Amino acid sequence: MATGMATGGRDFDVVLFGATGFTGRLTARYLARKYGGSLIRWAIAGRDAMKLERLLDELVSLDGSCREVGVIQADLDDQASLRAMAARTRVVATTAGPFLRYGEPVLKACIAERADYADITGEPEYVDLTLARYHEAAQEAGVRVVSCCGFDSVPHDMGAFFTVKQLPDDVPITLEAFVRARGVISGGTWTSAVEAMGRMRQAAKGPRPKRQSSDTRRVGGTKGRVRFERQIGRWVAPLPTIDPQVVKRSARALDCYGPDFRYGHYAAFKRASTIAGAAVGLGAIALLTQTAPTRALLYRFKKPGQGPTEEEIARGWFEVRFVARAGGKVLETKVSGGDPGYGDTSKMLGECALCLALDRDRTPDRAGVLTTAVALGEPLLERLEGAGLHFETL
């Protein structure tokens, strides 16, 4: 692990933008508790100077060395301030969402100033936009743009990577992931979800990235259906999140996923009746997001900045079981951890950002809009396990 001053003329290894928001504050507290202000050079950033100073006082109370943590005032409506922020650091890690609304100005500043970028979005439309508009520019600048550095989609992307690395790379691989979790969502996550569902029609007409292709390798999905999966003893239903998109992007880029890779992504339940109830509830919410008046009602349910209590976070957990079939053999693995949305998302983002900043000599020599597995690989697995996530072969 690198220590002391950042290199390359930058003041900081990592700048955490949106640090005074709910997830930003948790990420800052994670960095303070684990690294203080002396093991790494980092800064908190946002638009409200008073909130930043209050957060700094809080970090100092956790570790006195956090007096060395920097404070940077930067505003999404002021591109010059964002570029000045990006110019001072190797990596900008941002929690300021919804990212379709707030992510692009930060990303543009990072590419302009040649700083790597990490975020915690789970918005497919935003990731498609970054791939379509910024992949080539990031490649030319030598910048790594890594989205989905939280529960969407680190456990699934890195869990798939962990699994296929144990399989032969010259046979077809079918991999299915089965997700169970307990947690309470924040206002920011709720707002992002409502906006994403409300934009489903627009998203279908939005920019589409060029898909990586190969003459010798194929990547696709399995035929998802509700069923009882004997391998894990649970009822399962297809889970329509961004995670399959991310896993398949990794598979297209990395040969270790084999010549023909198929991926399925499911939620797992004890009872089939739970699946029916969840489908009705999600369907009703999706319907309400389609008009402005009903969306406004949904926004009132949880407001940005609100989130679970420390006790609720402490009770949270997640488990992702992977079942891989390759060459006539079956391999089971598991990724597990604490609160998925916030407690462990803060760890995931912090370690992704530090991996980008400090492990460049050990990570793949790639640039552009990348997944965690493609950009960070084995060094990130080591960091995540050191942070308390568990990667197991069953």
Specify the higher pLDDT residue, 189 or 67. 67
**Judgement on whether residues 295 and 168 belong to the same structural domain of the protein:** yes
On whether residue 3 sits in a domain, the answer given is: no
pLDDT at 236 over 60: yes
**Please, what is the average pLDDT of the chain?**
89
Specify the higher pLDDT residue, 271 or 356. 356
On whether residue 170 sits in a domain, the answer given is: yes
What pLDDT shows up at residue 76? 97
On whether residue 240 sits in a domain, the answer given is: yes
On whether residue 41 sits in a domain, the answer given is: yes
**Judgement on whether residues 275 and 224 belong to the same structural domain of the protein:** yes
**Judgement on whether residues 311 and 353 belong to the same structural domain of the protein:** no
pLDDT tens sequence across 120-148: 999 999 999 999 999 999 999 999 999 99
Q: Three-state DSSP class for 177?
A: strand
**Judgement on whether residues 272 and 221 belong to the same structural domain of the protein:** yes
pLDDT band at 5 (very low <50, low <70, confident <90, very high): very low
Q: Are 356 and 392 a contacting pair, CB within 8 Å?
A: no
Residue 106 sits in a domain whose CATH number is: 3.40.50.720
Q: At what angle do helices 243-253 and 124-141 cross, to 10 degrees?
A: 30
pLDDT tens sequence across 22-34: 999 999 999 999 9
On whether residue 349 sits in a domain, the answer given is: yes
Residue range of the domain that includes 137: 12-149+342-389
pLDDT band at 199 (very low <50, low <70, confident <90, very high): low
**Judgement on whether residues 76 and 225 belong to the same structural domain of the protein:** no
**Judgement on whether residues 138 and 221 belong to the same structural domain of the protein:** no
pTM, whole model, 2 decimals?
Answer: 0.88
Q: Three-state DSSP class for 314?
A: helix
The residue ranges of DSSP E strands in the chain, in sequence order, are 12-17, 42-46, 70-73, 89-94, 116-119, 144-146, 173-182, 218-221, 227-229, 234-238, 260-269, 317-326, 329-338, 368-370, 390-393
Average pLDDT of span 242-258: 97
Domain count along the chain: 2
- Residue 180 φ then ψ, to 5°: -130, 145
Q: 105: buried, middle or exposed (CB in 10 Å: 19+, 13-18, 0-12)? A: buried
What pLDDT shows up at residue 1? 29
What pLDDT shows up at residue 4? 33
Q: Does the N-terminal peptide bond of residue 105 adopt cis geometry, omega within 30 degrees of 0?
A: no
Q: Are 193 and 301 a contacting pair, CB within 8 Å?
A: no
On whether residue 6 sits in a domain, the answer given is: no
**Judgement on whether residues 264 and 199 belong to the same structural domain of the protein:** yes
pLDDT band at 247 (very low <50, low <70, confident <90, very high): very high
**Judgement on whether residues 204 and 311 belong to the same structural domain of the protein:** yes
What pLDDT shows up at residue 213? 53
**Judgement on whether residues 95 and 242 belong to the same structural domain of the protein:** no
Q: Does the N-terminal peptide bond of residue 250 adopt cis geometry, omega within 30 degrees of 0?
A: no
Residue 67 corresponds to which amino acid?
A: R
Last residue of a domain, one of 338, 354, 380: 338
**Judgement on whether residues 228 and 268 belong to the same structural domain of the protein:** yes
Last residue of a domain, one of 320, 338, 356: 338
The C-alpha atoms of residue 355 and residue 278 are separated, in whole angstroms, by 37
**Judgement on whether residues 324 and 226 belong to the same structural domain of the protein:** yes
C-alpha distances in angstroms, 177 versus 29, 159, 197, 262?
31, 9, 23, 11
Instruction: Give the whole-number percent of the chain exceeding pLDDT 90.
Output: 74
On whether residue 65 sits in a domain, the answer given is: yes
On whether residue 1 sits in a domain, the answer given is: no
**Judgement on whether residues 134 and 226 belong to the same structural domain of the protein:** no
